[in-house]
Amino acid sequence: MGLTNSSIGIKAIDLGLDIKKQSQNDKVIALAGNPNVGKSTVFNELTGMNQHTGNWPGKTVTTAQGYCSTKNQSYVFVDIPGTYSLMAHSAEEEVARNFICFGNPDAVVVVCDATCLERNLNLVLQTMEICNNVVVCINLMDEAKRKNIKIDLKKISERLGVPVVGTIARKKKSLTELMDTVDKVTDGRVKPHPLRIHYEKKIEEAIAILEPVIEEKLGNKINSRWVSLKLLDQDNSLITEINTRLNVDPFEDKEINEALDEAKDVLSEYGIHSENLKDKIVSTLVQEAENVCKDAVIFEREGYNASDRRIDKLLTSKATGYPVMLALLALVFWLTITGSNYPSQLLADFFFWIQNRLTDFFLYVNAPKWLHGILVLGVFRVLAWVVSVMLPPMAIFFPLFTLLEDAGYLPRIAYNLDKTFKRCCACGKQALTMCMGYIILKIEKPHFLLIIYFLNDNC
């Protein structure tokens, strides 16, 4: 379950914003998107690499780079961690935001989940505020079809002003159109004209005061309209990044500060402060996403996800979430720790039967006692103990955990425990690694005890 060289692909190293091109002409494509929408699956199919994929959000936590070519162009693809927005709240989201803002990709492919497109468009709209070369890849079209969701890709594309392609990332063939579109966008045959978000009048007035000053200071290194909005929104982590990467400290610059004060005065005249500004920005984006999807995403079956919602309620509500979680985890732990005793015993019996046969053989050939001691009582017995103690719990625990992951239950455990873990300055996702740590300790403990027993016995 842990990350290994092979599981992440030997070349899939976290290079941050440092792009390793194979040739000077390589174009850089960022694969962005909400968590768990299939970015790494698209990345693996296109680059032939083996990035970790899994059915829970937050599988990818660092960037990975891979190479892929079409007839016309060679590309460096960068798989970035999933993020719900560019208002980064966690380290992974900062990695994603930084790459989109400061990585200078030639195009950004925003991968979306076709079964909840409207929610995913939030990130698309924010990405389009920063760069023009955006391609929207609506993935999981097979899941949408299964849920009777019809998506009018043409309409969505016209409304967004950028190319939109439908894909099923697990089928490589379905990615051909995506690559054709990326070719067209990067070589200029298709020029996206991204929809510009218009915030309410007072916010636009404030942006208009700040934008020319920012443009003068930062040039075309980053979209000045977007930075103005972020300055008004007091996005301190972005401001720190601008300072580090572009060598301009907006909070220290006199002219920026003057313009910022003036813009803030305009906002406060209308009763807009940092607390409600974010809400207003988010609600404009949500409204815009709703407009884009109107009549373009059709749910043919009313209550198409009613059963999902019912199961969600059972698994995450206050009354039933914890009992179900505790019962399920207790069952998994019981099967792993106690249940595995039976196959362990069977394996041990089998190995000791072999050990007796080996001993008979050594007696039969009159082998010296020390040779029997080293080979049979030493090497074979230790191996037999390790295998019989460790194999069954692992063979039970990891498939069970994978089943829970595939069924989508692990993110729900993380959700249930998030509040509690946050009180200890941790986050709900850590519950999953804690479960694995607990099991490994449980499995390893008897293993160590056996080795100590063996050493005591023989020394």
Question: For the purposes of burial, counting CB atoms within 10 Å of the CB of 458, is it exposed (0-12), middle (13-18) or buried (19 or more)?
Answer: exposed
Among 47, 53, 65, 340, binds ligand GTP (CB under 6 A): 53
Q: Under a CB-based contact definition with an 8 Å cutoff, are residues 194 and 185 in contact?
A: no
Q: Under a CB-based contact definition with an 8 Å cutoff, are residues 337 and 385 in contact?
A: no
Q: How many residues bind ligand GTP (CB under 6 A)?
A: 24
Among 26, 27, 38, 260, binds ligand GTP (CB under 6 A): 38
60 vs 122, which CB is nearer to Mg ion? Answer: 60
Binding to Mg ion by residue 60, rule CB under 5 A? yes
Binding to ligand GTP by residue 33, rule CB under 6 A? yes
Q: Which does 47 bind (CB under 5 to 8 A by kind): ligand GTP, Mg ion, none?
A: none
Binding to ligand GTP by residue 192, rule CB under 6 A? no
Among 40, 50, 65, 344, binds Mg ion (CB under 5 A): 40
Cα 30 from Cα 22, distance rounded (Å)? 16
Binding to ligand GTP by residue 57, rule CB under 6 A? yes
Binding to ligand GTP by residue 142, rule CB under 6 A? yes
Binding to ligand GTP by residue 170, rule CB under 6 A? yes
81 vs 194, which CB is nearer to ligand GTP? Answer: 81
Binding to ligand GTP by residue 177, rule CB under 6 A? no
Binding to Mg ion by residue 139, rule CB under 5 A? no
Nearest CA-CA partner of 1 in 416, 407, 400, 446: 400
Q: How far is the CB of 62 from Mg ion (least distance, A)?
A: 10
Binding to ligand GTP by residue 143, rule CB under 6 A? yes
Q: How far is the CB of 146 from ligand GTP (least distance, A)?
A: 8
Binding to ligand GTP by residue 82, rule CB under 6 A? yes
Cα 301 from Cα 324, distance rounded (Å)? 29
Contacts of 353 (CB under 8 A, 6+ apart): none
Among 9, 27, 28, 39, binds ligand GTP (CB under 6 A): 39
Q: How far is the CB of 175 from ligand GTP (least distance, A)?
A: 10
Q: How many residues bind Mg ion (CB under 5 A)?
A: 4
Q: Which stretch binds ligand GTP (CB under 6 A): 10-18, 120-128, 162-170, 210-218?
A: 162-170
Binding to Mg ion by residue 59, rule CB under 5 A? yes
Residue ranges binding ligand GTP (CB under 6 A): 33, 35-41, 53-55, 57-60, 81-82, 139-140, 142-143, 168-170
Residue ranges binding Mg ion (CB under 5 A): 39-40, 59-60
